[in-house]
Chain A
Amino acid sequence: MAMSEIANPGRERILQRITKSLAEIKVAPPHNIMPTGTSAFAIIPDLLERFVAECKGNLTECVLAHGDTAQKLCVLLTQIPPGEIFAEDTPEIRALLTGIDRDVRWSSDGPPRECSQATITGVHLLIAQTGSLLVSSSLGGRGASVVAPVHIAIAHERQLVTDVEAALVWAEEQKLATTNSFVGVITGCSRTGDIEKLLVIGAHGPKRLVVIVDRDCCSVL
């Protein structure tokens, strides 16, 4: 029998139990919950300043560019060991990598391979409050931000938003969650504290997360 045809009698029984319980027992709102509309977070006066500070805290390398993103990227790539790099296939990233002497596997050729030394992608948004990046499968696929030891994200200052909620509201407006099978908020590189709570970076995913934020108002990014 194909999986799609598997009978699931438990479904009706579970739903019946839930519906019966909810109809029979109305629970009064708990006395100790009083959402007052008070914001849990303070106002952030300068989004970029906060983003840079948070990146420092969560071990994201934040590089500020002023129309010289290509040069900054070139310098970064000289630090990456020889071998293939993977890049999201967009006209902007193709332009940035023009003239760079490296084997590039583009996302249009398939997902990043295990041997990828670095991945280069765009981001949808930068989240100031937590120093995070909003990404999705449309930016080179699910593996693009996690498979290689180094992930380089290319962004522009105008992509900054205040907090996670603002990012998710934007995602909803843009139908990001309905058009992509993966949406992620990345806050720093891969890490673990599972051995005596000692922080070790690069548990499974990138050991380095670098975000280049271009501040040039004329940039095409």
Chain B
Amino acid sequence: MNPAQEFLRRAAEKSGDLNHRNIIRKNMDHYESRVVVGKGRFANWNAARDQCAAIRDEAINNLDKYLLEFEARVKERGGKVFWAETGDDARAYITNLARQHGVKRVVKSKSMVTEEIHLTTALEQTGCEVLETDLGEYIVQMRKEPPYHIVTPAMHLTRKEVFETFREKLPGVTSDEPVELVSVARRVMREAFFSAEMGITGANFLVADTGMIAITTNEGNARLGTALPKIHVVVTGIEKVIPRLTDLGILWPTLAGAATGQSLSAYNTLIGGPRANGEVDGPEEFHVVLLDNGRSELLNDAEQREVLRCIRCGACLNNCPVYRHVGGHTYGTTYQGPIGSVLTPHLRGHDFDHLSQASSLCGACTEGCPVKIDLHHHLLRNRRNAVEETSRPWMERIGFRAWRWTMLGNGRFEFLGRLGRMVARALAGTPVDPLRKWTAFRASPKLPQKSFRQMWRDGDV
């Protein structure tokens, strides 16, 4: 089964799964109620979006300058920077580092880039134990599932399902009360934080003028993961750079507002290098792995360069009616929802062109985007690119030619329209009904007796 067929199979399965739809509805209702409050904290939410988009645009349109500035500052602070063209390069660098330092245990904070390059599997193959420390990530790691959502990886699970997973894997779990489940996870993680030799995090932003990485969490796992292990490795995309420290004054509140509706997430953390002279704690080594993996190609696309502005808040997923019905795992990609559908064909090629069709083009994603990425139009552009850059099936080519020929002739249009209505009436509900995929679960719309043209001629309108 190719990725497009697999998408359709999963989408049909998930759309009909009422339990799944209930849990997603519950999550999304909660999100919506919080985000309304979050946006209400701004006197002018749109001004915040404008400012954030302008900052990200400035960074992307001067990417080489700011990346070099960031690199120079990190080195001044005693950190190391590795530029990885591909996931293979990044994995090789990090696994080599782990091997050289005899790392046995790694604590990892939530990072979509590490998911993109399948870092955990690579580290496990070298004999390291890798523990996800974000609770949602930890839950899906135990279940051997990929993250369901870029912000809330275990959104698809009920507390009962989480309880079952915990009971199977961890001793001493007796209740599905979230407080108890969290407290068990806290105990396990504490031990890991204090014994791990390496902490791996992503980065929400790379601050060029200070050479610091900015990480946002609510749980505080990235705080512990960057304070306790001897080695801190940051794995991040090259597009995450921002020019100035003070830019975070608007980026942090806007990220929190769009992602969870908070005024700020609980821990907004800036890390620059290993422990400095005279400091009490912190790692001995600090490595930043800057991943390209197709991003620089996107920079070369005049229409779609702005996609690199994305700050991975998850708002477009939450707003998308398709995501809400088919769920995150259906996409079969690291990045799900509208941003994933726009980005994945650029990162993984034409096998993922079908994702651009997984949209009603309603524009809710664009409306919700805190950095004003014109997401639904990018989906249209991806559709166009897919047609131009790949060979299409002969049925599709003939079909569109016939459609064009019909639409360009007045008489042809009227005649074939009448014929179409007759055929549609005759075949409705039969096994050969061309609309059966739609009508199998829905009542057919009633076809009118007369076309609009006929009604116009007869003076009915």
Q: Is the CB of A142 within 8 A of B227?
A: yes
Cβ contacts under 8 Å, B226 to chain A: 142, 182
A111 to B268, CA, bound (A): 21
User: Is A27 an interface residue when CB atoms closer than 8 A count as contact?
Assistant: yes
User: Is B340 an interface residue when CB atoms closer than 8 A count as contact?
Assistant: no
User: Is B95 an interface residue when CB atoms closer than 8 A count as contact?
Assistant: no
Among A110, A131, A172, the one with the most B-chain Cβ atoms within 10 Å of its Cβ is A172
Cβ contacts under 8 Å, A202 to chain B: 182-183, 186
Cβ contacts under 8 Å, A57 to chain B: 263
Nearest-CB residue, chain B, relative to A59? B266
Known contacts A42-B43, A184-B268, A205-B220: does B85 contact A14 (CB below 8 Å)?
A: yes
A179-221 residues with Cβ-Cβ distance < 8 A to B are 179-198, 200, 202-206
A interface, how many residues as a size bin?
35 or more
Binding site for A on B (CB under 8 A): 23, 26-27, 30-31, 42-45, 47-48, 50-51, 53-54, 57, 61-64, 67-68, 77, 80, 82-85, 89, 93, 96-97, 100, 133-136, 139, 152-154, 157-159, 162, 178-179, 181-183, 185-186, 189-190, 193-194, 207, 210, 212, 218-221, 223-224, 226-228, 238, 245-246, 248-250, 252-254, 260, 262-276, 279-282, 286-287, 290, 292, 296-297, 299-302, 305-306, 372, 374
User: Is A129 an interface residue when CB atoms closer than 8 A count as contact?
Assistant: yes
Q: Is the CB of B249 within 8 A of A182?
A: no
Cβ contacts under 8 Å, A167 to chain B: 249
Q: A34-B50, A195-B178 are in contact. List 17 more A-B contacts (CB 8 A).
A: A18-B67, A21-B299, A25-B300, A27-B305, A27-B306, A38-B47, A40-B47, A129-B263, A144-B280, A167-B249, A168-B249, A177-B212, A182-B271, A193-B152, A203-B185, A204-B133, A205-B224
**How many pairs, one residue from A and one from B, have CB atoms within 8 Å of each other in the complex?**
305
Cβ contacts under 8 Å, B227 to chain A: 111, 141-143, 146-147, 182
Cβ contacts under 8 Å, A79 to chain B: none
A198 to B160, CA, bound (A): 13
Q: Is the CB of A200 within 8 A of B270?
A: no
Task: From the candidates A20, A165, A195, name the one contacting B249 in the complex (CB within 8 A).
Answer: A165
Known contacts A33-B50, A131-B263, A205-B220: does B57 contact A196 (CB below 8 Å)?
A: no
Cβ contacts under 8 Å, B281 to chain A: 110-111, 137, 141-143
Among A15, A18, A20, A29, the one with the most B-chain Cβ atoms within 10 Å of its Cβ is A18
User: Is A95 an interface residue when CB atoms closer than 8 A count as contact?
Assistant: no
Task: From the candidates A20, A177, A188, A194, name the one contacting B135 in the complex (CB within 8 A).
Answer: A194
Cβ contacts under 8 Å, B97 to chain A: 3
User: Is A130 an interface residue when CB atoms closer than 8 A count as contact?
Assistant: yes
Known contacts A142-B223, A142-B282, A181-B272: does B178 contact A200 (CB below 8 Å)?
A: yes
A121-177 residues with Cβ-Cβ distance < 8 A to B are 129-132, 137-138, 140-147, 163-169, 171-172, 177
